[in-house]
Amino acid sequence: MWKWLQYFDAYERHLAKFRGRQFTLLEIGVYSGGSLDMWREYFGPRCSIIGVDIEPSCRVYERPGVRILIGDQADPAFWAAADLPPLDLVIDDGGHEPEMQRVTLEALLPRIRPGGVYVCEDIHRRGDLFGAFVHGLSDSMNAMDEARVDPTDPERRYVCRATGLQAIASSIHLYPFLVLIELAEYPVAELVALKRGTQWQPFLH
């Protein structure tokens, strides 16, 4: 197993909620099988693990509770044909090329259950195209599409319809060489700024 040490604090912060639970983890990049054992040790026996690798020899790591799929993460057809259950956690430690990472994110993010987490490791370069793609996603989290203002409504000051990403993702986190996307526990239809208080100064209206 080969991991950057700074990843582990982020893993503990965002993934500890899965420990001891029954859930499904998919990891791209089996290689020598070390991380499969690490995740089993960390998450416990109730975790169902799916490993994905382009190397057919990685099937040797298949065992009860661990399923191995062979395929190219850069091929959308592979993901479309893959027999996958609903996922709770995806960790992309595969080919590390930006186009591979983008294809994988677009294919798997819709297959993660509410409350799940998407992780992409090893985003190493300044100007990395996948890093730029994620920054674009971060920017879309700030969109205010179809915002409505109704100053006569005693409960709501601003309401805007959630964009596609805002509807499913609660947050995007950037760490050195690492991206985590946390999905919302429930679908979000709109973002609301509540107005509270008994007296509002005229210059604030």
List residues with catalytic annotation.
96
Residue 122 CA to residue 161 CA, distance in Å, equals: 34
Q: What are phi and psi of 164, to 5 degrees?
A: -55, -45
Question: Measuring CA to CA, which residue among 31, 24, 41 is closest to residue 3?
Answer: 31
Residue 75 CA to residue 69 CA, distance in Å, equals: 14
Q: Which three-class secondary structure state does DSSP give residue 106? A: helix
Question: Measuring CA to CA, which residue among 54, 60, 125 is closest to residue 93?
Answer: 54
Q: What element of type H or E holds 91? A: strand 87-92
